[in-house]
Chains A and B, each alone.
Chain A
Amino acid sequence: MKTVTRTIGTMALAVTMVLTVSCKDGNKNEPAAPMSNEMHQESMDDKDDMAMSDNQDAKAEAILNDYLNLKDALVGDDNGKAKELGNALAQSLKSFDASNYSDNEKSELNDIIEDATEHAEHISESDIKHQREHFKILSKDVTDMVAITGTQAKLYEQFCPMYDGGTAWLSKEENVLNPYYGSQMLRCGKVQREIN
């Protein structure tokens, strides 16, 4: 019996130490390195549609799709699903690569992606009230992104004057379903702009 308790005790101590050490390591994380700014595309930067590969557009489309799915989850008052989709969106945003765009667009896109990623990450770990707060800014980010990258989809920018002094979002359907209120005020809003 004595040896057993001793062994358990030693193990507990060892575990504490290991945890301690790993904690320290975790905390040493420095802020992410700045995006590398390779200039090798310079000569064919501006207005070069050839450089805009299908792959590039596909990544922007993936972001847009994740965003629209997230919007649907919020329309359905589904906090859990919105968390999952927030996470998926954060992943899509992280895999976006702006290197084929012109310098101006590149810096704009990097700003957008960085900001949007933060909002998506928050959405992946918040209650629904906070998710909606973040979704407001996320909507602006994604709208600004689409303005640069373009999209195959036909989109409707919709607007609800009641939420937080007036708030917009994107939808694939003309029919208004409000992601900021969900079932509480599902129909609040109108189409304010069509994209494509």
Chain B
Amino acid sequence: MKFLKIIAWIALVALVVIQFFPVTLNESDTIPQSDFMLVNKVPATIKNQLQVSCYDCHSNNTDYPSYSKIQPAAWFLEDHIKEGKDELNFNEWDTYSSRRKNSKLRSIIKQIESGEMPLDSYTLIHGGARLDSTAVKEIIGYMESLQKD
């Protein structure tokens, strides 16, 4: 029993200690000129939906929920955001070559079509991020209009 008690104490101490490790928050006040919304004339409804459903992980600015400041949740999020931005960063849209834009558009369409994005783990907590069938259709239609041969 003593053994378990020690383990529990260690876990507790570890949990407290990790709170002191700072997380680099994905926050930025400025929207670069290369942003998807600035480069393209995005209709307002789609703009809002993209902002809510995609920009938290696919841009330089995340609208953090309160639980995200507590470890280890913060690391979990940090990882997701890093991966998301590596794949696609809407803020850097215009820095992609036209070939890559087409590739990205295609991936966006495929991922939304198949329901892989936004992630289930994300929409579970952010109900507003879930895309209903109308939103899916609208976004896909819009993304297709941007594709070039």
Whether A27 is near chain B, meaning CB under 8 Å from some CB there, is yes
Asked if B7 and A9 sit within 8 Å, CB to CB, the answer is: yes
- One of A6, A112, A133 near B99 (C-beta < 8 A): A112
Binding site secondary structure of chain A = helix
Asked if A13 and B14 sit within 8 Å, CB to CB, the answer is: yes
CB interface residues, A 82-138, toward B, < 8 Å? 111-112, 114-115, 118-119, 133, 137
Residues of B within 8 A of A23 (CB): 75
Asked if A137 and B18 sit within 8 Å, CB to CB, the answer is: no
Known A-B contacts A27-B78, A112-B99, A137-B103; A9 and B10 likewise in contact (beta carbons under 8 Å): yes
How many chain-A residues does the 8 Å CB contact rule pick out?
Answer: 24
Asked if B106 and A137 sit within 8 Å, CB to CB, the answer is: yes
Binding site secondary structure of chain B = helix
CA distance A141 to B97 in the complex (A): 13
Whether A53 is near chain B, meaning CB under 8 Å from some CB there, is no
Question: What does the 1/0 interface line of A155-191 toward B look like (CB < 8 Å)?
Answer: 0000000000000000000000000000000000000
By beta carbon, the residue of chain B nearest A29 is B82
Known A-B contacts A9-B6, A12-B10; A115 and B100 likewise in contact (beta carbons under 8 Å): yes
Q: How large is the interface on B (under 10, 10 to 19, 20 to 34, 35 or more residues)?
A: 20 to 34
CB interface residues, B 87-107, toward A, < 8 Å? 97-100, 102-103, 106
Asked if A27 and B14 sit within 8 Å, CB to CB, the answer is: no
A sample of 16 inter-chain contacts (CB < 8 A) reads A1-B3, A2-B2, A5-B2, A5-B3, A9-B10, A12-B14, A13-B14, A13-B17, A16-B14, A27-B82, A28-B24, A111-B97, A112-B99, A115-B97, A115-B99, A118-B100
Give 18 new A-B contacts, CB below 8 A, not counting A12-B10, A21-B21, A27-B24: A5-B6, A5-B7, A9-B6, A12-B14, A13-B17, A16-B14, A16-B18, A20-B18, A24-B24, A28-B24, A111-B98, A112-B99, A114-B97, A115-B100, A118-B103, A119-B103, A133-B110, A137-B102
- The interface of chain B, by Cβ under 8 A from chain A, is 2-3, 6-7, 9-10, 13-14, 17-18, 21, 24, 75, 78-79, 82, 97-100, 102-103, 106, 110
Q: Sorted from nearest, which 4 A-B pairs have the closest CB atoms?
A: A111-B97, A9-B10, A111-B99, A115-B99
